[in-house]
Amino acid sequence: MSFRSQKLINADDTLFIFIDHQPQMAFGVTSIDRQLLKNNTVALAKAAKLFGVPIILTAVETEAFSGYIWPELLDVVRQKPIERTSMNSWDSDELVAQVKASGRKKLVIAALWTEACLLYPTLSAIEEGFEIYFVTDASGGTSLEAHDAAIRRMEQAGAHPLTTINALLELQRDWAHRETYDGVMDIVREHFGAYGMGVDYAYTMIHKAPQRGTFPHEAPHPAGH
């Protein structure tokens, strides 16, 4: 039986919030490679869905400025986003009502940009007694300096940094949890580079599992092997 730490995120006490993962917001990000940002954000959403963690999705000034939420993210979350005008999503009565109705006190937040749309609701939610975990590599700032300064400010206020892979593995925690094991491995192989390549190698070369691609690699067998 796994130890249930109150200092770790758990699937039954956590709510994920994705804030403003929209094209115009991503255009302004320079603190992280934008393709990596999208990859991590989609992986984070898949992790929440796999473990049955509720998700809130919000967007700012969609048709006036920011554009539609990334389709890859919407295809995972499959819900209508809360539309806002304020940079601080905690100004949205609808968002705050949904958060409070969930009954969950741990909020995992990813947002664009770090220095505004992540920082402001983080500080606001802490004031209202919520425990905040912000995902550094599914968020991005207009400069590395702005991103890092916001991170320091959130940490000083008591929020906790996470990365996407950190969140995924923290929810799994024990490889004996077989009901989510295959799903975790699917996310890893699709989104986590060398880690995923290593899993593919171990599955096929060591455990002799079939290749996961629809067009398998048929290698010749050298003489004497």
Please say if 70 is a catalytic residue: no
CB 24 within 8 A of CB 63: no
The one-letter amino acid at 28: G
CB 69 within 8 A of CB 21: yes
Q: What is the 3-state secondary structure (H, E, C) of 94-163?
A: HHHHHHHHHCCCEEEEEEECHHHHHHHHHHHHHHCCCEEEEEHHHCECCCHHHHHHHHHHHHHCCCEEEC
Q: How far apart are CA 220 and CA 225, in angstroms?
A: 10
- Residues whose CB falls within 8 Å of the CB of residue 77, separated by 6 or more in sequence, listed in order: 18, 45, 49, 55, 57
Helix or strand holding residue 3 (H, E):
none
Question: Helices (H), strands (E): how many in the chain?
Answer: 9, 6
Q: From the candidates 117, 125, 167, 187, give the one annotated as an active-site residue.
A: 117
Catalytic annotation, residues: 117
